[in-house]
A and B are shown apart, each in its own frame.
Chain A
Amino acid sequence: MTRVDGYGRVDRTRTLRFTFDGVSYTGHPGDTLASALLAHGVRTIARSVKQDRPRGVTAVWSEDPTGLVQVEEPFPEPMLLATTIELVDGLVASSIGGRGRLAEVPDTARYDRRYAHCETLVVGAGPAGLLAARTAARRGDRVVLVDDRPAAGGSLTGTERICGRDALDFVADTLAELRAHPDVRILLRTTAFGHYDDGFVLALERRTDHLAPAPQGLSRQRVWRIRAGHVVVATGAHERPIVVADNDRPGIMLAASARDLLHRYGVLAGRRVVVFTSDDAAYDAAADLAGAGAEVTLLDPRPVRGDSRSGDYRRSRGLVLGTGAGPDGAISHVFTDQGELPCDLLLLSGGWNPTSHLFSHVRGALRYDAELGAFRPGEALAGVTVVGAANGTFDLAGCLAEGRGETPEPLPRTNLVLWRTDGDPARQYVDLQRDSTVADIARATGAGLRSVEHVKRYTTIGTAHDQGKTSGVLASAITAELLGVPIESLGTTTFRPPYTPIAFAALAGRERGQLFDPVRTTALHAWHVARGAVFEDVGQWKRARYYPLPGEAGGTEDMDTAVLRECAAVRRDVGILDGSTLGKIEVRGPDAGAFLDMIYTNLMSSLRPGRVRYGVMCGLDGMVIDDGTVLRLDDEGFLVYTTTGGAAPILDHMEEWLQTEWPHLRVTLTSVTEQWATFPVVGPRSRDVVGALAPHVDVSAAAFPFMTWQDTEVDGVPVRLARISFSGELAWEVSVDGWHAPALWRRLIALGEPYGITPYGTETMHVLRAEKGYPIIGQDTDGTVSPQDLGMSWAVSTKKVDFIGKRSFARAENRNPLRKQLVGLLPLDPTVKLPEGSQIIEQTAELPPPPVPMLGHVTSSYRSAALGRTFALALVKGGHARIGERLTVPVGGDLVPVEVTGSVLVDPEGTRRDG
């Protein structure tokens, strides 16, 4: 055991049990997996990815480049740093060789997301951050303070004094003061991992991993989306090692990390310690470790001075050149310029790199500070302040002053910038996780590379889990040295979110399973379910596709049987469809007509109130994007029906034109999709049903002609009737508000009973419309089909001065007679149903070798009850001129002969429309 009495903040009155690599150990609340293992003298906890060398803990928090483990219990999770895993009872973990293993079982934990808004966000609850938060809170700001460690205080070890008090008491008091403000939110165990424009910061809160067992019903992790007026980056600094030969062994650590282990966890990471430093801060580590009982030798390349912290350690001017290992691969001695020294812990410190990631995420420029040997924030960014060590201010007084918003006097620098000592470059590791060495950098520069980005990619330095937190600047410096150029001419590689790795599931949040995308159902959904409907996803909607009846032999009808039955029933008697998902947009204002004239290819402004008109919309390229009917409500109002999928995109499309191109038009657009439920009642007996529903309405063909609408009331409930048909049959669309929809639907079903009313789904709707040659936009079109291609030249105004898409109709290609056009296809064998999507080629008995010229493809294909055979719609090159021709459709290995027909196969004369 290397736990020292009198040190550390772990709760030694309680013991936790855990297993690492199959061996049982104990630890205490407040430990991390790393501190608990080190307390047992376990120094090797991983193997390196390329060279399979043993690796230990190099740094004590998220900057550690080496100590990656695999957690097995409570739930498997790959590639976690032992230094950031809070110890819980029952934890099982194992060492890994640079690659993690994903769980075979689903993660049942819950993850969620919250929003926070504040004037001031402070990232980092060290001394600088605490004071910044306090200052903002006293000013009356709403404040969010986040810190990624379990406790506030940052790098304070408890040995310091602030304002005449113990530093940790000061921390506790400050937290208490902050907590007393109602508008201050303090989030510990919360890592701000990404900083985006306009004060948008994302932070991950770890809520349950430190609790065993994890409480039920609490999300494991939470992504905070924080929008801050001002972001204070108080994220501290990462210590930087000095590169020496064989610097990758277990038992080699950053100096402040060893000190942190002692003061935070009471763990003395070595008994015979060598400290190699060119910076004064590491003297604290030497003194503290010596004070805790270690035998410490400090080597410093600088001339010995009198003002650095003294202690019970030996110190001499000197250099560490390399290390040696014992049989377990961990360090056993160092080679210095004065000879060999035995040791079980080597501490390295070459200075500090400000942790300026969050400043860099928003493109803050860093500048190289030659005295510090580090890059630090080099420009002022609006809305962002960097304070304390993150700003390159490394003394406590300076940090406190910056936290208060003051500018402290810079202290004179005494450190020496030393990147590496002499030694075999192939054994001098720069990125310990990637096994990349100075020799690798030398190969890269030798290959002609001059940019740090190229060197990074050539050597893989900085690409591991730590994203080069301790290696990045070293790599720049060593590259500069090898190239003989100043480091500032090279800069660093780019810092990008996330600051530390984040579980995918945390980012997915609640958007999983049925919540991945909202499920939209109509007011009739429960009825459809009760009726045994099979549903289909249409955008976000669940639509009833067909309603299978109990079949023979106890099963239910298959889709083909059900649809043939539904189709026959509609054309023979009457059917009813839940068409509520159709998009509906109310277009209102004095210029509504003029607006719609621009949106549709045909004229809408001439439509009279009470009338309905079908229209087509095109994009700028003249290709059809949507279609549907338009009801003129009154002088200034139109109700536009879009396709189900088109509801949102078409509203967007209209808004974009209205807002960017025609802001002078006095028009408002309102989505009323969900306000209206709409049921087409379709078939020869629909007049009977609708007549029974609305006895006061004259539903005769003369009084209620095709393409007109009327409002009425049923039991005091307003109901709209419109004579619109998507099947060629006599039909009414009955619309009512969603609340009354189920009752009205049931009433229609009841009234239709005597006529054998049959509810039908989208599949039957598709067959019926296809028999009439009505295209479905998005199925029979694909963004390359013009109204003319659909045989709808009649819906394209030749009189209007302008409308969206008009100009494109004049293009040469739009007049090409060989464009693909919508036609019907009849397989010569009337029982063969062509797969939708099949390609069409010239008539042939044998498939020629590729490339085979293609004429088009099958867009819709069905069995028709009315025709007593199969049929299809297709887009075919020059199709309108090919009617009567025979073509071939390759299906699997077969060549199916088909005949091209017009697209209207049922009731081409339109005799059924008026019943």
Chain B
Amino acid sequence: MAENLPEHPDFLWRTPEPRRSYDVVVVGGGGHGLATAHYLAKNHGITNVAVLEKGWLAGGNMARNTTLIRSNYLWDESAAIYEHALKLWEGLEEDLGYPILFSQRGVLNLAHTEQDVRDSVRRVEANRLNGIDAEWLSPDEVAKICPIVNVSGDIRYPVHGATYQPRAGIAKHDYVAWGFARRADEAGIDLIQDCEVVGFETDGDLVTRVRTTRGDIACGTVALCAAGHTSVLLDMLGVPAPLQSHPLQALVSELLEPVHPTIVMSNAVHVYVSQAHKGELVMGAGVDSYNGYGQRGAFHIIERQMAAAVELFPMFARAHLLRTWGGIVDVTPDASPIVGHTPYANVYLNSGWGTGGFKATPGIGWCLADTVAHGRPHPYVAPFALDRFTTGALVDEHGAAAVAH
């Protein structure tokens, strides 16, 4: 740990002018949009593709998240897609030919109450039956894996134990995005920045053109990967969806010598922390409760998570907060994504990943590319259809057993 960063490749991507028409238009050049582009080219040979990004490439949540990657989700449907993603992560550095600093250092989800313990055991047992690595650890075992966590009884909500997924980890978000972007660019896909989608031209149940700040672009298929701004795009299409956009903040400390070997998450003492490659502590907590599209939040949210951090890690008392920031996350009523068909036959939706979609990046890119290529939802995303809110077949990941991110 605490090393210098590797060198980047000499060339990343072109800056092309948008063409008048593409077979596939991906709206949103975040991690999901770029991964989708990569797998469209790699797995399906589809390269007449544009990724339209309103700002700078991967400057949305992709540049702002805390990079936790894990697959220890409760429900079968979630476990399947996140585990699919985790397996892809395990080979991604090679696939992308990019040092993405994927580090499988494990994640501890702490339990602080009797109910936390029940929920944790439930999730560990479910993970194991789904073939996902998971263990339930006593406080002593927690301390062995992460000696700096305060497992003593003298804190307000003592640690009763933790779930542990050894294969979980972190990666360098920018490098992941750039790795996907470089591959997509190499395949001939146009990555178009400063190109905001401002409307759609439709013909019956088809979208024929995408209106952008850089002109109209005719499209065969459209894939929406706009994360926190999906609701804005759906509004343009007149498609209602139960998405709420919230600010989600994160922060880093200055560079510190290695002290924290794993990832620790706690819901009751709400914070999660890892120490990145270079040595900075990276942390976050829950969303700001109000809705909005401004990429910043309120300060008391930061203060509260600092209190939680110092409570769990007394050693952090004199670490320094260096920078705070916020992204806009798209939250659904059941805390699971919405992926698949829309009322428009050639428009696919990928949204609702909320506070936890970074870890899904390769998995959803893979599945969305497959969905676009075959014109039907990939089996891993099928359970996450928009119509589940009318059928009631929810995948409720924030029931009692849920952990965000």
Which residues in A have their C-beta under 8 angstroms from that of B130? Answer: 850-852
Query: How many B residues touch A, CB cutoff 8 Å?
Result: 88
Which residues in A have their C-beta under 8 angstroms from that of B125? Answer: 837-839, 857, 890
* Interface assignment of A135: CB less than 8 Å from any CB of chain B: no
Contact A509 B392, beta carbon cutoff 8 Å: no
Q: B399: which of A200, A517, A784, A852 is its contact (CB, 8 Å)?
A: A784
Stretch at the interface among A139-147, A451-459, A675-683, A789-797: A451-459
Chain B nearest CB, measured from A183 CB (Å): 25
Q: Mark B244-282 against chain A: 1 for CB-CB distance below 8 A, else 0.
A: 000000000111110100000000010000000001000
Which residues in A have their C-beta under 8 angstroms from that of B94? Answer: none
Contact A508 B306, beta carbon cutoff 8 Å: yes
Complex alpha-carbon distance, A508 and B14, angstroms: 46
Q: B311: which of A109, A451, A458, A513 is its contact (CB, 8 Å)?
A: A513
Complex alpha-carbon distance, A812 and B308, angstroms: 42
Contact B11 A501, beta carbon cutoff 8 Å: no
Interface positions of A from 753 to 790, Cβ below 8 Å from B: 778-779, 781-784
Stretch at the interface among A20-28, A59-67, A98-106: A98-106
Complex alpha-carbon distance, A781 and B131, angstroms: 25
* Interface assignment of A883: CB less than 8 Å from any CB of chain B: no
Given A447-B10, A451-B56, A837-B122: A504 in contact with B156 (beta carbons within 8 A): no
Q: Mark B9-49 against chain A: 1 for CB-CB distance below 8 A, else 0.
A: 11111110000000000000000000000000000000000
Residue of B114, B125, B257 contacting most chain A CB atoms (<10 Å): B125
Contact A106 B76, beta carbon cutoff 8 Å: no
Interface positions of B from 98 to 145, Cβ below 8 Å from A: 112-115, 117-126, 128-131
Contact B315 A104, beta carbon cutoff 8 Å: yes
Q: Mark B371-405 against chain A: 1 for CB-CB distance below 8 A, else 0.
A: 00000000000000000101111101011110000
Contact B59 A516, beta carbon cutoff 8 Å: no
Stretch at the interface among B195-203, B225-233, B296-304, B358-366: B296-304
Which residues in A have their C-beta under 8 angstroms from that of B57? Answer: 451, 454
* Interface assignment of A465: CB less than 8 Å from any CB of chain B: yes
* Interface assignment of A691: CB less than 8 Å from any CB of chain B: no
Contact A513 B254, beta carbon cutoff 8 Å: no
Complex alpha-carbon distance, A835 and B254, angstroms: 43
Interface positions of A from 812 to 861, Cβ below 8 Å from B: 812-814, 835-839, 841, 849-852, 854, 857, 859
Q: Mark A115-141 against chain B: 1 for CB-CB distance below 8 A, else 0.
A: 000000000000000000000000000
Which residues in B have their C-beta under 8 angstroms from that of A782? Answer: 119, 396, 399-401
Which residues in A have their C-beta under 8 angstroms from that of B309? Answer: 504, 508
Contact B129 A851, beta carbon cutoff 8 Å: yes
* Interface assignment of B333: CB less than 8 Å from any CB of chain A: yes
* Interface assignment of A811: CB less than 8 Å from any CB of chain B: yes
Given A446-B11, A504-B253, A516-B156: A850 in contact with B318 (beta carbons within 8 A): no
CB closest residue in chain B, given A891? B125
Q: Mark A462-483 against chain B: 1 for CB-CB distance below 8 A, else 0.
A: 0111010000000000000000
Complex alpha-carbon distance, A118 and B11, angstroms: 53
* Interface assignment of A720: CB less than 8 Å from any CB of chain B: no
Contact B255 A448, beta carbon cutoff 8 Å: no
Given A508-B303, A513-B155: A50 in contact with B4 (beta carbons within 8 A): yes
Contact A453 B320, beta carbon cutoff 8 Å: no
Contact B310 A508, beta carbon cutoff 8 Å: yes
* Interface assignment of B343: CB less than 8 Å from any CB of chain A: no
* Interface assignment of A498: CB less than 8 Å from any CB of chain B: yes
Complex alpha-carbon distance, A836 and B111, angstroms: 14
Contact B129 A813, beta carbon cutoff 8 Å: no
* Interface assignment of A77: CB less than 8 Å from any CB of chain B: yes
Which residues in A have their C-beta under 8 angstroms from that of B236? Answer: none
Which residues in B have their C-beta under 8 angstroms from that of A890? Answer: 125, 128-129
Contact A502 B399, beta carbon cutoff 8 Å: no
Contact A49 B10, beta carbon cutoff 8 Å: no
Contact A79 B155, beta carbon cutoff 8 Å: no
Complex alpha-carbon distance, A124 and B299, angstroms: 22
Contact B320 A504, beta carbon cutoff 8 Å: yes
CB closest residue in chain B, given A71? B318
Which residues in B have their C-beta under 8 angstroms from that of A202? Answer: 299
CB closest residue in chain A, given B269? A516
Query: How many A residues touch B, CB cutoff 8 Å?
Result: 92
Which residues in B have their C-beta under 8 angstroms from that of A841? Answer: 129
Complex alpha-carbon distance, A27 and B160, angstroms: 51
Which residues in A have their C-beta under 8 angstroms from that of B112? Answer: 537
CB closest residue in chain A, given B308? A516
Complex alpha-carbon distance, A494 and B325, angstroms: 10
Complex alpha-carbon distance, A678 and B301, angstroms: 35
Q: B129: which of A811, A812, A850 is its contact (CB, 8 Å)?
A: A850
Contact B321 A813, beta carbon cutoff 8 Å: no
CB closest residue in chain A, given B320? A501
* Interface assignment of A503: CB less than 8 Å from any CB of chain B: yes
* Interface assignment of A421: CB less than 8 Å from any CB of chain B: no
Q: A450: which of B59, B80, B193, B306 is its contact (CB, 8 Å)?
A: B193
Complex alpha-carbon distance, A812 and B389, angstroms: 11
Which residues in B have their C-beta under 8 angstroms from that of A591? Answer: none
Contact B121 A837, beta carbon cutoff 8 Å: yes
Chain A nearest CB, measured from B356 CB (Å): 17
Complex alpha-carbon distance, A99 and B275, angstroms: 13
Which residues in A have their C-beta under 8 angstroms from that of B390? Answer: 811
* Interface assignment of B2: CB less than 8 Å from any CB of chain A: yes
Chain A nearest CB, measured from B116 CB (Å): 10
Complex alpha-carbon distance, A16 and B193, angstroms: 58
Which residues in B have their C-beta under 8 angstroms from that of A515? Answer: 156
Contact A502 B320, beta carbon cutoff 8 Å: yes
Given A447-B10, A504-B317, A811-B391: A79 in contact with B306 (beta carbons within 8 A): no
Complex alpha-carbon distance, A460 and B323, angstroms: 14
Complex alpha-carbon distance, A837 and B120, angstroms: 7
Which residues in A have their C-beta under 8 angstroms from that of B307? Answer: 507-509, 511-512, 516
CB closest residue in chain A, given B306? A507
Q: B121: which of A494, A505, A838 is its contact (CB, 8 Å)?
A: A838
CB closest residue in chain B, given A813? B392
* Interface assignment of A78: CB less than 8 Å from any CB of chain B: yes
* Interface assignment of A497: CB less than 8 Å from any CB of chain B: yes
Contact A448 B392, beta carbon cutoff 8 Å: no
Complex alpha-carbon distance, A622 and B391, angstroms: 12
Given A102-B315, A460-B5, A854-B126: A194 in contact with B394 (beta carbons within 8 A): no
Complex alpha-carbon distance, A813 and B385, angstroms: 14
* Interface assignment of A107: CB less than 8 Å from any CB of chain B: yes
Residue of B76, B255, B316 contacting most chain A CB atoms (<10 Å): B255
Which residues in B have their C-beta under 8 angstroms from that of A507? Answer: 302-303, 306-307, 321
Chain B nearest CB, measured from A112 CB (Å): 12
* Interface assignment of A706: CB less than 8 Å from any CB of chain B: no
Which residues in A have their C-beta under 8 angstroms from that of B87? Answer: none
CB closest residue in chain B, given A78? B256
Complex alpha-carbon distance, A621 and B324, angstroms: 35
Which residues in A have their C-beta under 8 angstroms from that of B119? Answer: 782, 837
Contact A196 B299, beta carbon cutoff 8 Å: yes
Which residues in B have their C-beta under 8 angstroms from that of A450? Answer: 15, 56, 193
CB closest residue in chain A, given B173? A457
Complex alpha-carbon distance, A497 and B252, angstroms: 11
Q: B298: which of A196, A446, A509, A783 is its contact (CB, 8 Å)?
A: A196
Contact A783 B399, beta carbon cutoff 8 Å: yes
Contact A501 B115, beta carbon cutoff 8 Å: no
Residue of B119, B124, B254, B311 contacting most chain A CB atoms (<10 Å): B254
Contact B8 A103, beta carbon cutoff 8 Å: no
Contact B306 A504, beta carbon cutoff 8 Å: yes
Complex alpha-carbon distance, A363 and B11, angstroms: 33
Q: Can you list 13 residue pairs at the A/B interface with Cβ under 8 Å?
A: A75-B318, A107-B317, A200-B299, A498-B321, A503-B317, A504-B253, A516-B307, A516-B308, A620-B333, A782-B119, A784-B394, A811-B390, A836-B122
Q: Which A-B residue pairs are the 8 nearest by beta carbons?
A: A837-B121, A850-B131, A813-B392, A811-B392, A501-B320, A107-B317, A783-B399, A837-B122
Extra 8 A-B pairs, beta carbons < 8 Å, given A503-B321, A778-B400: A75-B318, A79-B255, A99-B256, A102-B259, A507-B321, A838-B125, A841-B129, A857-B125
